[in-house]
Structure 1
Amino acid sequence: MGKFYDAIPPNLISWIEKQEMFWVATAPLSADGHVNVSPKGLRDSFHIVNENKVWYQDLTGSGVETISHLRENGRITIMFNAFEGPARIVRLFGTGTVHEFGTPIVDVHKVGSSCGYAVPLYEFKAHRRALIDYAARLEVKDQEYAAELPADADTPNVAQNGIKNYWSKNNVKSIDGIPGLQGAHQSNVTPLSGMQDEVQGVGEPEADKTATGVTNGAAIAASAKGVRGRDQLGLLMAFSAGLAVAAMVIKLQLVGVL
């Protein structure tokens, strides 16, 4: 049987903070539109401020479904499930608002948990770094292009093969034609990366080795102590300069768990 709460209880807070990934589900209003489910990951990308407020950071991706659907109707479900230890599923149902220049925030008024007996057991090894490395290379293109422009240039700092050009091609509309990004891809602010830091547990396939200088077109590696006392990847989706592909302010009203 499912359990329901008016706030996230301490045992669920600690459990959520230990999960290595979660899912977000959104859908357009159109009856024949595409319902979208996306896996989200990288350590320390989901945060709980208190028992009634959480926020998460996203990465540059090949699509923009979550942003587009939230712009249109605001509905979203965030789901966590246990891959190890006792079976459990937690779903957060609610509404959200997208902010390209900001931080995801979730205001919680009801929480629920249920069994996850159908979820198989898996052993976590590491987060993949392919996206991190790829986006970082695109980001560097924008930096190099901006460095060559005159200081008083009034044209957007958009390199032909940079990260913002990638956003223009892939993140301005959903597959159903719903608007996605509105300004990040045209901003004169240049994405910043290159922060040298040590990030443990990020990389593939050698999960036990430390990856140095992990950066991303939608993230900057930052060291932060995690709930399990290990360094975690802090995803600064605003490039420390205010740019983000899918950094969303999400105000969630949790109505239950299925």
Structure 2
Amino acid sequence: MVQFWDHIPDNLIAWIEKQHMFFVATSPLTGDGHVNVSPKGLTGSFHVANKNRVWYEDLSGSGVETIAHVRENGRITVMFCAFAGPARILRLFGRGTVHEFGTAEYDALVPPATRLSGSRAAVVVDVYKISTSCGYAVPVMDYKADRRALLQWSDKLERLDAQFAADRTSCPSEAVSRTSAVLPVRSLKWWWAAHNTRSLDGLPGLHRAHVVDRVPRGVVRAGRDEPPSDGTVVILGNRVPKAGLGQRAGAWVLAVGGVEREEVGRMMLAFSVGVLIAAVWVRVVGGAGC
């Protein structure tokens, strides 16, 4: 029998904290948009702040549907199923808020010491209704272990960001625009820029995680964070096909805030001229030899 509450009962909080996975459902406002359902997991990624607020670490993936939908309209439902013990389905209906990597709100929720590899945002859900139902059709399954593949994959990408940041720190004469970041291919920020700035429906996804002066592994570059107003992405040396972003080994990515695609050509030319001028200046003045 279905039961409803306006807050999470204490016994259900304890039950939630024992679960190994959950599902998140979101949808855009448009009638022909994609309704998204994402399975989530990894021990320690989900947190109950109080009886009407929960949050979880959103880890990097191939898409950004949940973040984009929540940013557009806030609607979100979190569902837990009992795969062991008494049958149960629990749904948390709420309004979501996204705090990206590199923001003060994210840092308050996800300190570096506990951050999971690949964490790109904290999704906070203010819960206004809770329901439970029987769940008799959910199979009984034994939990063996968390899969580690996602963490291993993102850890490799984060190491590239850390190395790139360290190289730039040791070579301060390298000129890069304050409103853009040149990223090595297959770094985590490159992945965010190339795959996580737009949803399948074309809604904005990540706004700033890929361009802030913060490195996922905790290496901080000199300068101050400047949030972009958009997340246009260009892969240097490649065209940007209509169906998606081109990729090529050895290429670099330029993640640009507040620039429309039509302006990319002019920006690329200005960037190249700027690099050329900087190189000439270093040679004439006898600048740093990094």
Q: TM-score, normalised by structure 2?
A: 0.63
> Matched residues in 1 for 2:175 and 2:132: separation?
52
1:96: Cα distance to partner? Answer: 1.0
> Matched residues in 2 for 1:51 and 1:72: separation?
25
Equivalent residue for 2:18? 18
User: Which residue, out of 189, 208, 220, partners 2:214?
Assistant: 189
Q: Does the residue aligned with 1:77 lie in a helix, a strand or coil?
A: strand
- Deviation per CA, 1:119-169: give whole Å up to 9, x if none: 011111111111101111011111111111134656326223211011111
1:175: Cα distance to partner? Answer: 1.0
Change (3 A) 1:46 1:154: farther
Q: Please tell me whether residue 144 in structure 1 is matched to residue 163 in structure 2.
A: yes
Equivalent residue for 1:165? 190
Unaligned runs of 5+ in 2: 107-121, 220-290
Answer with 1 or 2: which has the greater Rg.
2
**Aligned partners of 2:97 and 2:125 also within 8 Å:** no
Equivalent residue for 2:96? 96
Q: Does the residue aligned with 2:28 lie in a helix, a strand or coil?
A: coil
Q: Please tell me whether residue 133 in structure 1 is matched to residue 158 in structure 2.
A: no
- Deviation per CA, 1:33-56: give whole Å up to 9, x if none: 111100000011111122222211
- Deviation per CA, 1:196-227: give whole Å up to 9, x if none: xxxxxxxxxxxxxxxxxxxxxxxxxxxxxxxx
1:57: Cα distance to partner? Answer: 1.1
1:116: Cα distance to partner? Answer: 0.3
Number of residues paired by the alignment?
194
> Matched residues in 2 for 1:46 and 1:183: separation?
23
Q: Does the residue aligned with 1:110 lie in a helix, a strand or coil?
A: strand
> Matched residues in 1 for 2:158 and 2:17: separation?
29
**Aligned partners of 2:52 and 2:128 also within 8 Å:** yes
**Aligned partners of 2:23 and 2:78 also within 8 Å:** yes
> Matched residues in 2 for 1:18 and 1:60: separation?
23
Q: Could you tell me which amino acid in structure 2 is paired with residue 121 of structure 1? A: V
Q: Does the residue aligned with 1:112 lie in a helix, a strand or coil?
A: strand
Equivalent residue for 2:75? 75
> Matched residues in 1 for 2:207 and 2:47: separation?
25
Equivalent residue for 1:255? none
Q: Could you tell me which amino acid in structure 2 is paired with residue 13 of structure 1? A: I
> Matched residues in 2 for 1:166 and 1:126: separation?
27
> Matched residues in 2 for 1:151 and 1:62: separation?
33
More helix by share: 2
Equivalent residue for 1:214? none
1:118: Cα distance to partner? Answer: 0.7
**Aligned partners of 2:94 and 2:129 also within 8 Å:** no
> Matched residues in 2 for 1:69 and 1:153: separation?
38
Q: Does the residue aligned with 1:186 lie in a helix, a strand or coil?
A: coil
**Aligned partners of 2:62 and 2:196 also within 8 Å:** yes
> Matched residues in 1 for 2:123 and 2:32: separation?
29
RMSD value, Cα: 1.7
**Aligned partners of 2:95 and 2:126 also within 8 Å:** no
User: Which residue, out of 108, 113, 135, partners 2:127?
Assistant: 108
Q: Which has the higher contact order (CA 8 A, sep 6+)?
A: 1
Equivalent residue for 2:222? none
Q: Does the residue aligned with 1:96 lie in a helix, a strand or coil?
A: strand
> Matched residues in 2 for 1:72 and 1:97: separation?
10
